[in-house]
Structure 1
Amino acid sequence: MDTVKNWNKWANNHTYYPLDILRIALGIFLVLKGASFITNSQYLDNILSPLSNFPGGMLTFHYIAAAHIMGGIMIALGLLTRWAIIAQLPILFGAVVINFIGDLDVKNLVLATVTLAVCLFFMFYGSGKHSADYYFKMQQ
């Protein structure tokens, strides 16, 4: 627990607006991606086709869409950012791996890899000073 507190102190002392804009952009991107999966379910079905024998396909579809939309909103607001990113990690690892199992789509691979890298960064960095987490922490 002390390690997380030390990371938060370091992050709050080194917070810059571009990092906050990057966090907000990541959240908006995830919300839009989740909405895209809901409106175009055939696209998600095509992506998950290499795992067609995997049981729980509908559960996976709903988890991906809900985690992207709800997690994206939370990341954009800076509310429980680390928990929201932890919910994104299995999806993003799966997005990177599925490109090697199925047809290799370089655009999707780069997009998934960059999103995963940004999420891993914010998992360690935290939400920063300009976030709901920081606001609520200061209200205590």
Structure 2
Amino acid sequence: MGTIKSLNKWANAHTYYPLDVIRVALGVFLFVKGIHFLSNSQMLLDLFTPIQNMAGGMIILHYLAPAHFIGGILIAFGLLTRWAIIAQLPILIGAILINFVGDMHTSNLVMASITFIVCLFFLFYGSGKHSADYYFKMQK
């Protein structure tokens, strides 16, 4: 708990608007991807053809779209940012690894890798000073 408090203090002391814009853009991107997966379920099923015979495949399909949808909203507003990003990490790791199991799509690999790196940054950085987390913390 002390580590998270020290990270939050450091992040609040070093908060810049471009980082908030990147956090909001990440949230909007994940939200749009969630909507895309919800509206285009056949494309999502086609992505999972290399691992369709593995146990838990249907659970993954039902976890992916709502996690992006809800996590994107939370990240964009800066509410429970670290928890929302922790929920995104298994999906992003799977998005990176699926390119090596099935057909290689370099654009998807690059997009998933960049999103993963940005998520890792905000996992340590937190939501920043211009977020719902900071607002609610100051209301105490």
State the match for 1:99 in structure 2.
Answer: 99
Q: Distance in 1 between matches of 2:9 and 2:83?
A: 18
CA drift of 1:63 comes to 0.3
TM-score (norm 2): 0.98
Task: Confirm or deny that 1:121 pairs with 2:121.
Answer: yes
State the match for 1:11 in structure 2.
Answer: 11
- Percent identity between matched residues is 65
- Residue correspondence of structure 1 range 18-97 to structure 2 within 5 A: 18-97=18-97
Q: Distance in 1 between matches of 2:43 and 2:12?
A: 40
State the match for 1:139 in structure 2.
Answer: 139
* Cα shift readout 1:34-67 (whole Å, capped 9, x = no counterpart): 1101111111111111101012322211100010
Aligned letter for 2:64?
A: I
Q: Distance in 1 between matches of 2:47 and 2:108?
A: 10
Q: CA RMSD in A?
A: 0.7
TM-score (norm 1): 0.98
Q: Distance in 1 between matches of 2:74 and 2:7?
A: 20
Q: Distance in 1 between matches of 2:54 and 2:66?
A: 20
Q: Distance in 1 between matches of 2:43 and 2:18?
A: 32
Aligned letter for 1:103?
A: D
Q: Distance in 1 between matches of 2:112 and 2:43?
A: 15
Aligned letter for 1:71?
A: G
Q: Distance in 2 between matches of 1:63 and 1:135?
A: 29
Aligned letter for 1:107?
A: S
Q: Distance in 1 between matches of 2:52 and 2:60?
A: 11
Segments ≥4 residues shifted beyond 2 Å: 55-58
Structure 1's unaligned 5+ residue stretches are none
Aligned residues: 140
